[in-house]
Structure 1
Amino acid sequence: MKANWHRNTLIYQIDPSLFFDSNGDGRGDLKGIIRQLDYLQALGVGALWLMPLYRSPFRDAGYDVSDFMALDPRFGSEEDLRQLIVQAGERGMRVILELVVQHTSDQHPWFLRARRDKDSVYRDYYLWSDTPVDDGNQPIFPSVEDSIWQWDEQAGQYYRHLFYRHEPDLNLANPRVVEEIERVMVHWLELGIAGFRLDAASHLVEQAGGGNEEQGVWVLDRFYKCMTRINPEGVLLGEVDVDPERYSHYFGTGERLGLVLDFWVNNHLFLALARGEAEPLQRAIIRRPAPPDGANYAVWLRNHDELDLERLSEQEREEVMQAFAPEQDMRLYGRGIRRRLAPMLDGDVRRQALAQALLLSLPGTPIVRYGEEIGMGDDLTRPERLSVRTPMQWSDRANAGFSSAARLAAPVIDEGPFAYTRLNVEGQLKDAESLLSRARQLLLARAELNEVGDGKAQLLTVDHPAVFAIAHVCEASSVMLANLGKDTVTVRLREMDLEGFEEMLSDSPYPATTQSGLTLHGYGYRWFRRVDSKQ
């Protein structure tokens, strides 16, 4: 096993309930993921990030946990999870579990005991008040919840909930609560997992500090020490939606989060795509601090939530909205877009491949959401964020090859340009020009470029605003260019001579590089690597 493996891997995000149903009950499961491991290996995937598997009422896709120590039966048994870890490991893949500890379900035994008895030790597991308190926080889902405080008749007090009212916030300043979480971590780490994705990490840190982020980072120190006692190479991947200057609190010197989900760069990547200009992305990369040794940023295009654009100015946010969510029904919570990447880019295979090439060229560990490699669409008839949570489209057979059941965990997309009959894994595997074929080529190539994770990134100056150019230098060196515009352009690199480099990948064949410059087709990309680079 390799230390700091998370700096140079491809993470594939799976919603277990929507990936593959092995037993015909209409819901995806762990055995279903095991069946598709060869497919994931062929994509160059190095780690699987599984969305919540714990017991839950499933009012919030499993993020409302009622028992952290048990798998929900719909997904299978602990033996199934153990088998997934073993069989993924045989293919060079690790497994990361979601750790949802900012809140619990209101059906969790801790909360049921807390509301029953004011003198119970569990009362202080949550945040209570006789009157709603303005602590500066606003509801995370403002169109659904109008307050972060909910009156509880049985308790005779208000409890705080930053998220849904059925998800009371844990009091993470209470050492007993942190000890409970450490027991949860130990349980799953001993099963063989490679780490956790910390949901709402910035909120849980603030809660641990009584509202003060800098005082709350002790909880990350604790989680890291707990994890590395059992798995010294384990990683904590944190959801940290804050200004980039605050990332350093979450990294520490590398003994807190090993990977920080970089919303700052994600927002500016979409601003760059909306404008067809590289400058917003360049600006974002320049502003974010360098991660400490052994740590890294995690970068992605779309995830399971809305595309939250809070890191942009109001004017920039509206610019992205106009480009990618012109209709009100495509927007959510007054800040984000509830669409998948493919419909945002009009289903254009070239633009989607360009976006993926751009992502894979960034300094950071890339995350691909299931179905992004085939350009899956969304279902805007579903409420809130459920629009981007539909079953994986494996084939043009019934239920997109996801399940043999009559009733599914979520409806498949069966109409329009993104219907499973038109767009699925099986069909795209047979087409050399499909998005899947292009994505596989990109992902497998990126898996060979250790300098992107381990090296020093250098933004390169080119003489066209649509072109993003970056070099990664370590023992090996690579140069990656992406044209965010629709027109063919020819550019020169000012800081770097490509003599001694060879082209390793491009969107289509190009003539040999000449003194006159590098040509890039509209939405084109080209990757070069120094010929004498060590592998």
Structure 2
Amino acid sequence: MNPKWWKESVVYQIYPISFMDSNGDGIGDLQGIISRLDYLQDLGVDVIWVCPIYKSPNHDNGYDISDYCDIMKEFGTMDDFDHLLREMHARGMKLMMDLVLNHTSHEHPWFVESRSSKDNPKRDYYIWRKGKNGGPPNNWESYFSGSVWELDPRTDEYYLHLYSKYQPDLNWENPVVIDKLHEMVEWWLKKGVDGFRFDAIAHIVKTKGYPDADNPNRTPTVRAYGMFSNLEDVHTLLQNLYDNVLYFYDIMTVGETSGLGPEQALDYVGDGRRELNMTFQFEHMFLDAASPGSGKWDVVPWSLLELKKIMSNWQTVLHDRGWNANYLCNHDQPRSVSRFGNDLFYRIPSAKMLATFIHMLEGTPYIYQGEEIGMTNVCFDSIDEYRDVETLNYYEEKRKNGVPEEQIMSAIHHKSRDNARTPMQWDDGHAGGFTTGTPWIKVNSNHMEINAGNAVKDPDSIYNYYKQLIALRKKYKVIVYGSYELLLAEHTEIYAYTRTLEDQRLLVILNFFDTEPEFEWPAGFDPDQLELLISNYPQSKDHDIRSFKLRPYEARVYLQQRV
């Protein structure tokens, strides 16, 4: 079982620019977070993951860092950060920083020097290459569209950026870079932070020689993720970071590692690997993509059978060997109730059902801000109302290729990262209570109905349901450490599974649709010996029948105490 505090924790993710504005400038800030800590303490969360708050020109909302040891002025000062850390710790909550080690901002002093001349001492802090055949060094495609290479006229060479051209990749083959990053990580740990979410950590190693991907003509750019994702040397570098820095602190670490399955994940999180506590897996995030190779924008209906297959594989492979990080949405993904639930007619029951699903799995559950009140996707009418660099790049690329405006906007409405980045909806007043000024991005118009003020007061709200789930997780070790077994593997509407630890067994029953499928009590479960721990509908006794109909998006969790 190997108990750890970070296994027993519930994490709440804050996207600071959109969480709470304290000074009326329309931008969320650290004092705004402090003002809402009592709300998070009441919810019952243990760890708060704060997306990047470092000094940044903000081309990618803070994921382009220009100074690792300073705070973005829009968010506040280092004194504000120290205040935030003290206030969290005073409430028994821990702070997990979001740290980008794959790249910096193009305004970072290291890169300013690196690009100044070919013989600058910091030239090799980044990845520079000469062009080939009048074009970039190879045909790799950026995650944000276009080439990963940007020509710098000053030296007539290209620098590599897996994301935006404003985010040049660091050269992890340079030992000086590694030493400086290690020093920076320890600097934050000495300040008292409780962990790190390592952004894009799977990409810090690239294929040596930077060959072309499989495209003899080299055009257009092609997705070559296998050339710079989860390569073997990543593990050597992470073990080096662990042995030299992380080992000496009792912290929580999670890596963003796209493009792998559970067996590969064990290379990062397996017991004894000396790397990370857990990783974010992305397999279920591609369920509604036409194909992994087509990118996220080509939306298709997702399959419950495929969701079961993916999640069950992660649950069983990692059990007693590693640890899961369980989530359905974050700052890069659409709102979960709009994607996997029904935000029109069954928003409340489907949001509760999805919460039950995530919190009853083995692994640390993550709540993204607003998920606990059932915030939904936003459908802005015009591209001018969007702010996300990935979304804007996608729009421009598709317009150039002649794709109809209506088709482009439909994809954006489904998959833009701005779906998760609209301001937190605190009340039904101006800007949803997020700011007294003009918000940096528009507030979802449904804040009049969907807001934390309403949710906290309503005993039957999604928020108060989350409180129950979190309280149950703290009470029953079987929810944290129990083994997982899938039931009804081929059922197209019901997702049911058990969790077992010693003499306790959970039965989790979830209807993922607006239908009313029949559920039959599985063998080994006597309804008269089951305790209903939680449900998103009022329950009557079903004990006199062998089967019953589930209501739309119904969730039930039963406890069986075995003798």
Aligned to 2:426: 394
Question: Could you say if the C-alpha distance between residues 267 and 109 of structure 1 is closer, same or farther in structure 2, counting changes exceeding 3 Å?
Answer: same
| Counterpart residue identity of residue 479, structure 1 | L
CA distance in 2, matches of 1:3, 1:402: 38
Q: 1:209 to 1:170 in 2, by over 3 A?
A: farther
Letter in 1 for 2:103: H
Alpha-carbon offset, residue 55 of structure 1: 0.3
Question: TM-score, length-normalised on structure 1?
Answer: 0.84
8 Å Cα contact 2:137/2:158 also seen in 1: no
* Per-residue deviation, 1:170: 0.7
Deviations 1:10-35 (A, max 9, x none): 11110112111223333222222122
Residue deviations 1:168-208 (CA, integer Å, cap 9, x gap): 11111212111111111111111111111111121124479
Residues 496 and 510, structure 2, Cα contact 8 Å, conserved in 1? yes
Is the Cα contact below 8 Å between 1:379 and 1:388 reproduced in 2?
no
| Residue in structure 1 matched with residue 144 of structure 2 by the alignment | 141
Q: Is the 8 A contact 2:128 2:160 kept in 1?
A: yes
User: Aligned match of 1:340 in 326, 335, 344?
Assistant: 335
Shift of 1:52: 0.4
1:322-367 Cα offsets, whole Å, 9 max, x none, are xxxxxxxxxxxxxxxxx43344433422222222222222222111
Cross-structure match for 1:235: 252
Determine the C-alpha separation between the residues in 2 that align with 1:386 and 1:422: 20
> Which residue matches 2:500?
473
Task: Tell me if the contact between 1:462 and 1:494 (Cα under 8 Å) persists in the aligned partners.
Answer: no
Q: What are the equivalent positions in structure 2 for 1:108-507 lying under 5 Å apart? A: 108-131=108-131, 137-142=140-145, 146-206=146-206, 213-231=231-249, 233-244=250-261, 245-252=263-270, 253-268=272-287, 278-288=304-314, 290-291=317-318, 295-305=322-332, 307=333, 339-344=334-339, 345-347=342-344, 348-377=347-376, 378-380=378-380, 381-383=385-387, 384=391, 385-404=417-436, 406-413=437-444, 415=445, 418=446, 420-461=447-488, 464-475=491-502, 476-498=504-526, 500-507=529-536
Number of aligned residue pairs: 490
**Distance (whole Å) between structure 2 residues aligned to residue 399 and residue 361 of structure 1:** 34
In structure 2, the partner of 1:89 is 89
The letter of the residue matching 2:242 is Y
Counterpart contact for 1:354–1:523, Cα < 8 Å:
yes
CA displacement at 1:386 relative to structure 2: 3.0
Deviation readout 1:431-476 (Å, 9 max, x if unpaired): 2333323333334333434323322112223784311111122244
Q: Is the 8 A contact 2:30 2:75 kept in 1?
A: yes
Matched residue, 2:559: 529
Structure 2 unaligned runs (5+)? Answer: 211-227, 291-299, 392-416
Q: Percent identity?
A: 30
Task: Tell me the TM-score normalized by structure 2.
Answer: 0.80
Q: Is the 8 A contact 1:173 1:208 kept in 2?
A: no
**Is the CA contact (8 Å cut-off) linking 2:431 and 2:438 kept in structure 1?**
no
**Which runs of 5 or more residues in structure 1 are unaligned?**
308-338
Name the CA distance, whole Å, in 2 between partners of 1:276 and 1:109. Answer: 45
Q: Distance in 1 between matches of 2:524 and 2:206?
A: 44
Taking only aligned residues, the RMSD between alpha carbons, in angstroms, comes to 2.8
Greater Cα offset, 477-486 or 375-384: 375-384
Verify the 8 A CA contact 2:266 2:322 in the aligned structure 1.
no
CA shift for structure 1 position 485: 2.6
Q: Contact (CA 8 Å) 2:287, 2:302: kept in 1 or not?
A: no
Partner residue, 2:540: 511
Mapped to 2, the partners of 1:492 and 1:270 lie a distance apart of: 33
Change (3 A) 1:162 1:464: closer
What displacement does 1:254 show?
4.1
**TM-aligned CA distance change 1:461 to 1:376, over 3 Å:** closer
Q: Name the aligned partner's letter for residue 480 of structure 1.
A: V
SS in 1 for 2:6: helix
CA distance in 2, matches of 1:171, 1:38: 42
